[in-house]
Amino acid sequence: MTAPIPVVLLAYARPAHLARVLAGLRENGVPLIQAFADGAKGRADAAAVAETRALLRAVDWCEVRLTERAENLGLGRNVLAGVTAVAAQHEAFIVWEDDLICVPGTYAWMEAALRHYAGDARVMSVSAWTHPRVTPPSVGEAPYFDARADCWVWGGYARSWRGMPDETAAEKLAAAAARGVPADSCGADLPAMARVETRKNIWAVRWLAHHLAHGGLCLRPPWTMVEHIGFDAAATNAGETLGWANQPLRPAPPVPTAWPAVGEHPACRALWQAATVRPKSGLGARVRRAVERLVPAALLAPVRARFFRVRWEGDYANWAGAQAACAGYAAPAILARVTAAARAVRDGEAAYERDGVAFQGPPPWWPGIAVLREVAGARSGAVTVLDFGGSLGSLYQPVRGAVGDGVRLRWRVVEQPEFVAVGRREFQRGELEFYSSIREAGAAGMPDVVLLASVLSYLPNPAAVLAELLALGANWVLVERTGFTTTGGPRLTVQRVPRSIYPASYPCWFMDRADLLRQVAGCYRVVADEPDPIEASAGLEFRSLQLQRLPA
């Protein structure tokens, strides 16, 4: 191969993310970008789509060939169509999505790897990503081969992409099984993802299965060169978690003078199986499988909705009316359940806690990780977070491990008095502190980040509390998993929690998103505004926003 290797760039409607990605590609000296800009879903995202396309048209530091979709294909179809088009024109390519940033040297490393292994059909792809959970300890600072491919900045060949769009992931896994390669040999998550590939319009599982079906290998670096800055359902359609968060990015590994011989590292499959295993034993698991096998899904759905899922009911005129129809957030059962779950995390009996439920698996990804790292980089490693409504430190516990030991974190939780009493008595330590009011927490020093994780909706007057927090002058305000209406105007409901979590009910606002944006306008700019994958009734949705303070 002598021609430049193009970057296939998939974009949609996140101009703030894309601007950072383009800056990284420029820093990497990418010579050619073939961009595929997905179309708008409707009026709600049309402006963001237009801004995204304007950014791509404005690139003047390399050649850009831009394809603007007339309709919204969704990520899966956009990737399949875009890569197929490029593979028809080029022997090799590197695929980039609009929420993946990288360190300098990433493109050069991948380009060198693709050129080196171009003639070996066993090598189907090259990746810029790996993770300590699945990196064999023996690799040291050398690249290694894995039978499981990857989708976080990866390179491939026209020869290895051939046939990729022609079969579903399930069909490819079946072909692999016919070769004697079990569907879950490189991860227990692959069969589950394959089952929902078409319905959820995801694509990466098909690429992984394509490798298994053809006995291909993926070359991975000894450490990751890429970071994900846009975890959300619309961006990835994948359940990525804090357990897969990167350590702070290191400089790119040097291009090897001697590339490794082609051959799968013998430890990889066991590492992937251990990292993705689902509990399959125990009475509860057996009963669940039996019920799912014997009872039609149409009959199970209303039972799940009534007894095992949070639901929102009513349309109340005022807070007092909603409060009269429910038990309220101060119900003793809530504090008791949350305290028990937080103790399990503190004592190493659970990995994380959310809403009073202790979990053993890796915790859900929190998009604010990237913000904390950015703040830490600007402030010599020091970050102060004011976590309003942060329970007993639910988010602090998993975030502490994800940001890395080099970050000096100070985490102030503002909560109800009864939570503060338990927090100070059982969970407070040097980094984690508990306060009863915004004024008290603010007196301890201005925070860098104000965190509102699924809390504004449960306040009698969300706008007043937000105004008090904005007045602190923090550089970042993160509004996470917050309910909004999609039809305009606020709606006050009662949220009912199933007994499978804890018996509770409390008032819950679904706010008018336009009202919130008007309140922050002039002080903060919206860096990210993304939907959350939380089921809600018609006319309701959950979103997360990242707000950065404007320069004075």
Q: Among 99-113, 321-335, 354-368, which stretch is predicted with the lowest mean pLDDT? A: 354-368
In order of 205, 213, 297, 400, the CA distances from 177 in angstroms are 15, 8, 28, 41
Span 419-440, average pLDDT = 94
| pLDDT of 235 | 37
| pLDDT of 497 | 74
Residue 111 pLDDT more than 90? yes
Q: In the structure, what pLDDT confidence band is assigned to residue 274 with cuts at 50, 70 and 90?
A: confident
| pLDDT of 247 | 65
Rank 242-246, 345-349, 500-504 by mean pLDDT and report only the highest: 345-349
pLDDT tens across 50-98, in order?
A: 999 999 999 999 999 999 999 999 888 999 999 999 999 999 999 999 9
| pLDDT of 399 | 85
Residue 168 pLDDT more than 50? yes
| pLDDT of 498 | 66
Q: Which two tokens stand for residue 192?
A: 């589950």
| pLDDT of 552 | 78
Sheet strands (E) in 260-376:
311-316, 352-354, 357-359
Point out which residues pair with 524 in neighbouring strands.
549
| pLDDT of 534 | 74
Closest CA to 63 of 138, 128, 9, 120: 9
More confident residue, 60 or 326: 60
Q: Among 51-60, 172-181, 228-237, 493-502, which stretch is predicted with the lowest mean pLDDT? A: 228-237
Residue 416 pLDDT more than 70? yes
| pLDDT of 239 | 37
Q: Which two tokens stand for residue 552?
A: 């004075």
| DSSP, residue by residue, 189-227 | HHHHHHHTHHHHT--HHHHHHHHHHHT-EEEE-SS--EE
Span 460-482, average pLDDT = 95
